[in-house]
Amino acid sequence: MSEAGGRGCGSPVPQRAPWSLVAATAAICLVSATSVWTAGAEPMSREEKQKLGNQVLEMFDHAYGNYMEHAYPADELMPLTCRGRVRGQEPSRGDVDDALGKFSLTLIDSLDTLVVLNKTKEFEDAVRKVLRDVNLDNDVVVSVFETNIRVLGGLLGGHSLAIMLKEKGEYMQWYNDELLQMAKQLGYKLLPAFNTTSGLPYPRINLKFGIRKPEARTGTETDTCTACAGTLILEFAALSRFTGATIFEEYARKALDFLWEKRQRSSNLVGVTINIHTGDWVRKDSGVGAGIDSYYEYLLKAYVLLGDDSFLERFNTHYDAIMRYISQPPLLLDVHIHKPMLNARTWMDALLAFFPGLQVLKGDIRPAIETHEMLYQVIKKHNFLPEAFTTDFRVHWAQHPLRPEFAESTYFLYKATGDPYYLEVGKTLIENLNKYARVPCGFAAMKDVRTGSHEDRMDSFFLAEMFKYLYLLFADKEDIIFDIEDYIFTTEAHLLPLWLSTTNQSISKKNTTSEYTELDDSNFDWTCPNTQILFPNDPLYAQSIREPLKNVVDKSCPRGIIRVEESFRSGAKPPLRARDFMATNPEHLEILKKMGAASSIDAEDGLRFMQEMIELSSQQQKEQQLPPRAVQIVSHPFFGRVVLTAGPAQFGLDLSKHKETRGFVASSKPYNGCSELTNPEAVMGKIALIQRGQCMFAEKARNIQNAGAIGGIVIDDNEGSSSDTAPLFQMAGDGKDTDDIKIPMLFLFSKEGSIILDAIREYEEVEVLLSDKAKDRAAILKGKMIPSYIINSNPEMENEEQPSSENDAQNQSAEQISSSSQEVDLVDQESSEENSLNSHPEALSPADMDNAASISPSEQTSNPTENHETTNLNGECTDLDNQLQEQSETEEDSNPNVSWGKKVQPIDSILADWNEDIEAFEMMEKDEL
Ligand code: DMJ
């Protein structure tokens, strides 16, 4: 979600009808407040902002350059294996793959980002490539929603900026609406999806064969998500208004009208999924995140772009309901549409991070600041926003596919408040991306924010959205070659010009079913000139809202969060929550007895209590399991940048309780490790690589341990298996006592394993770190004289950082070493829903005698003894993670395996090392991985 920067109140808006002017200024007049705004955080200098802006440009080049060099014309880059993701050639990831239509998705999604980032020449080249290479007629079943927001939106955003550039007279002089023609062709390909009695589109369509033909392999679905049906109007209306072909806008309006009619009338909420034939709600839970998010976004933005009051009225009706039921500041919690006082779950998903940005557009800043602050603290705890996290801020789903929503909200909050605090937030996002997600061949999604492990995935929205918002956050007006305030951002951050509101508008109300009345003034609350209300003359306004929430995440513990939640509610005694329940407490027993009997409120509490109990108990079951581990490649040219998700073993050294194990890897002979090793000299003191199969995991462990190995990595023998597509599992023992196995053992699927095997072939000496969580690069490079640009992945800093003398070198080294290591978070687990799309049972089934204790990802979690937060006797939260972390740091100091890092190196050797590392880094940058 998003909206362009913003024209100040009173600025002339040419070519816009009066109502459109109101809409546009309502949305963006907040910006006028920014120029006068100074809040608690230190202002950021122009130089610093420019430096950060340049860093964003460099990062974009790294992502886009690697895509173009190694993946194009494929849809997406696989940044770990440095190749393109071609649908059908990789194991299916389920619905996620429905975005891939063999139409060079990343290139199309990146088009208007190139212009925003001032890369006009590259834009011109990219447009030529799209026109030359992209085929929209492939026999592929794609998601209508994703194709609309990413491809249709990408083509329209590209067209919008192409005509802007052409008009300026320097670039794109040859352009003759070719992107628009492609967009129109694609629009017609999507239209058959709307062939339902309701007018809601089918969720998928075959680009070549449509819906109904037998070859289409789709058209049998009955349900779609609300966002899927309700996120079309901006692109479809733009297509109609650009081309004059009214049909697109009409279809999108009809779908929106139907959703509006189907809203739950007493709560004014909509569910997550709906039957496209009957209009019945299939999932009756309702939130602002996954499945619904951009439906709300598009109602408000349709009003801004099209100036149609009915959209504002609908948005406001829904918004009131959201603020009444779902908003539980600083949380946003899903509820049931029929029983909106009943929470539908105890966790939140990462997609809702767009909502503060939408609230800025609406003009409701206070809750936007609160939710954003809460999200930022979750990010500070885990470096990224996990896909889902619980109300007590534990990880629920551990992945993070480099989603842009939080950056988007940060940008809008900065525009609205001018508070430099949000620039610092952006700086942290940049640092974390470089530190934890950057790999030699692009940026890799986080497979698990707790371990820091990567997934071989760089989604196109990372280029479409993340870099735009980050760049715009630090840019001044003169840093952008056009006026961003003349455009609205789609949900994929594609730019559509506001002048469309006055173009071909006669088509807009044909065939719509709803009747609209004149809007009363309440619909325009918070719009210009109400900045006085938004920004009372208190320069610390935003900070004063954030202040009480400063420690909301750190201070929370499973019981503490209840107090936090409740402290935001007023009035009656809070209901008993499952997490608080104690069977020994007579008061609790009394409340239980009353539930379901006395009143409807008690009944609702009872229902919620039961639901929470079920969820809690399944969560507790999961917490009996072990979480995934990390294999981090630390030797050059990887330098800790590549982190692979590994399965733990139920025997051997438990890496969560002990120091990590670091060593060079060596293949064992026989490779299956099922008999005494014939190459003990090769594996002695090293981490042995063994192939899965032929015998028990424990037997392999004993054989390599007897040969002197300090650890073992079992690599799956099912070719092509990957943690991206198969649920991870723990290696079980052999049913006997395994106490004799002292070394750590980890499991890698074949794809991750082959990254190490390829590295050995290429570089011979490959050193890895086995741990519960990827370690900070500065700690990994301890004692190595490596320029910090390698650690920070910012080549720009090369000149600044080179030490001129031995002393300088030593100081620099010390500085790097002191960099903090990551927090340890042991307790969280993924839920079964997380990988329901990704699970490949065949990859799991043991093809041999390995008795894998197969667990679904939902079951991957930590030992209960590893609970990271507890309540001490004084009722305060204590953080066992920190204690464990401290403990492990102390142990590390005395660890002979890492003592090499402290040895004093003569200067010649330091410089030799350094040169070697620089060379390696340069090679790496040339993608010789
Ligand atoms: C993007 O494709 C769009 O922002 C969409 O609305 C939902 N989220 C993804 C990125 O997370």
- pLDDT per position as a tens digit, 426-483: 999 999 999 999 999 999 999 999 999 999 999 999 999 999 999 999 999 999 999 9
Please check the confidence at residue 806 and state whether its pLDDT lies above 60. no
676 counts as catalytic: no
Please check the confidence at residue 801 and state whether its pLDDT lies above 80. no
Q: What is the mean pLDDT of residues 596-602?
A: 55
Strand partners, 646: 629
* Distance between Cα 640 and ligand 1 center (Å): 29
Please check the confidence at residue 64 and state whether its pLDDT lies above 80. yes
- Token pair, residue 63, equals 């992502």
Q: What pLDDT is stored for residue 723 in this prediction? A: 82
C-beta of 494 in contact with ligand 1 (< 6 A): no
* Distance between Cα 583 and ligand 1 center (Å): 44
| Cβ atoms 636, 920 nearer than 8 A | yes
Which position among 90, 405, 734, 917 bears the catalytic label?
405
pLDDT-derived band at 722 (thresholds 50, 70, 90) equals: confident
Q: What pLDDT is stored for residue 782 in this prediction? A: 65
Q: How far is CA 8 from CA 98, 535, 790, in A?
A: 40, 15, 42
Q: What pLDDT is stored for residue 15 in this prediction? A: 29
Please check the confidence at residue 319 and state whether its pLDDT lies above 50. yes
Q: What pLDDT is stored for residue 31 in this prediction? A: 41
Strand partners, 688: 666, 712
* Distance between Cα 242 and ligand 1 center (Å): 24
C-beta of 492 in contact with ligand 1 (< 6 A): yes
**Which of these, 862, 865, 844, lies nearest to 853 by C-alpha position?**
844
Is the preceding omega at residue 857 within 30 degrees of 0, hence cis?
A: no
Dmax (CA) for the chain in angstroms is 86
405 counts as catalytic: yes
Taking the C-alpha atoms of residue 812 and residue 717, their distance in angstroms, rounded to an integer, is 44
Q: Report residue 454: phi and psi, to 5°.
A: -105, 165
Which position among 3, 146, 250, 660 bears the catalytic label?
146
Q: Model confidence over 479-536: pLDDT tens digits?
A: 999 999 999 999 999 999 999 988 877 665 554 444 555 677 777 665 543 433 445 4
Residues 327-343: b if buried by 16+ CB within 10 A, e if exposed: bebbbbbbbbbebbebb
Q: Say what percent of the chain tops pLDDT 70.
A: 69
Helix (H, G, I), strand (E, B) or coil at 329: coil
Q: What pLDDT is stored for residue 415 in this prediction? A: 95
C-beta of 716 in contact with ligand 1 (< 6 A): no
Atom 10, ligand 1: residue with shortest CA distance = 403
Looking at ligand 1, which atom is closest to the CA of residue 401?
A: 11
Residues 496-525: b if buried by 16+ CB within 10 A, e if exposed: bbbbbbeebbebbeeebeeeeeeeeeebbe
Q: What pLDDT is stored for residue 656 in this prediction? A: 82
Please check the confidence at residue 30 and state whether its pLDDT lies above 60. no
* Distance between Cα 94 and ligand 1 center (Å): 17
Our mutation pick for probing the ligand 1 site, out of 403, 463, 494, counting the most ligand atoms within 8 A of Cβ, is 403
Q: How far is CA 373 from CA 131, 283, 334, 564, in A?
A: 43, 30, 19, 14
Taking the C-alpha atoms of residue 20 and residue 24, their distance in angstroms, rounded to an integer, is 6
pLDDT-derived band at 899 (thresholds 50, 70, 90) equals: very low
C-beta of 461 in contact with ligand 1 (< 6 A): yes
| Cβ atoms 460, 85 nearer than 8 A | no
| Cβ atoms 297, 234 nearer than 8 A | no
C-beta of 491 in contact with ligand 1 (< 6 A): yes
User: How many CA atoms does the CB half-sphere of 823 hold within 13 Å?
Assistant: 18
- Is the pLDDT higher at 837 or at 671? 671
The pLDDT mean for the chain works out to 78
C-beta of 294 in contact with ligand 1 (< 6 A): yes
Our mutation pick for probing the ligand 1 site, out of 295, 492, 494, counting the most ligand atoms within 8 A of Cβ, is 492
Please check the confidence at residue 799 and state whether its pLDDT lies above 70. no
Which position among 98, 387, 767, 866 bears the catalytic label?
387
146 counts as catalytic: yes
The one-character DSSP state at 871 is E
Taking the C-alpha atoms of residue 153 and residue 145, their distance in angstroms, rounded to an integer, is 11
Report strand pairing: 869-871 vs 767-771. Answer: unpaired
Q: Report residue 666: phi and psi, to 5°.
A: -150, 140
**Which of these, 428, 438, 372, lies nearest to 405 by C-alpha position?**
372
Q: What pLDDT is stored for residue 746 in this prediction? A: 95
Q: Model confidence over 540-590: pLDDT tens digits?
A: 788 888 988 887 887 664 433 332 334 334 444 556 666 566 666 677 667
| C-alpha 688 chain-centroid distance | 34
* Distance between Cα 928 and ligand 1 center (Å): 32
Strand partners, 78: 83
886 counts as catalytic: no
| Cβ atoms 95, 143 nearer than 8 A | yes
pTM for this prediction: 0.72
Q: Model confidence over 265-300: pLDDT tens digits?
A: 999 999 999 999 999 999 999 999 999 999 999 999
Taking the C-alpha atoms of residue 734 and residue 826, their distance in angstroms, rounded to an integer, is 26
Q: Report residue 53: phi and psi, to 5°.
A: -60, -45
* Distance between Cα 387 and ligand 1 center (Å): 12
Q: Which helix (H) or strand (E) holds 630?
A: strand 629-633
**Of 395-399, 538-542, 642-646, 706-710, where does mean pLDDT reach its minimum?**
538-542
Is the preceding omega at residue 330 within 30 degrees of 0, hence cis?
A: yes
Q: What is the mean pLDDT of residues 25-36?
A: 41
Q: What pLDDT is stored for residue 626 in this prediction? A: 64
The one-character DSSP state at 535 is S
Number of residues assigned to the chain: 929
Atom 8, ligand 1: residue with shortest CA distance = 351
| Cβ atoms 494, 298 nearer than 8 A | no
**Which of these, 925, 142, 136, 62, lies nearest to 442 by C-alpha position?**
62
**Which of these, 484, 359, 459, lies nearest to 404 by C-alpha position?**
459
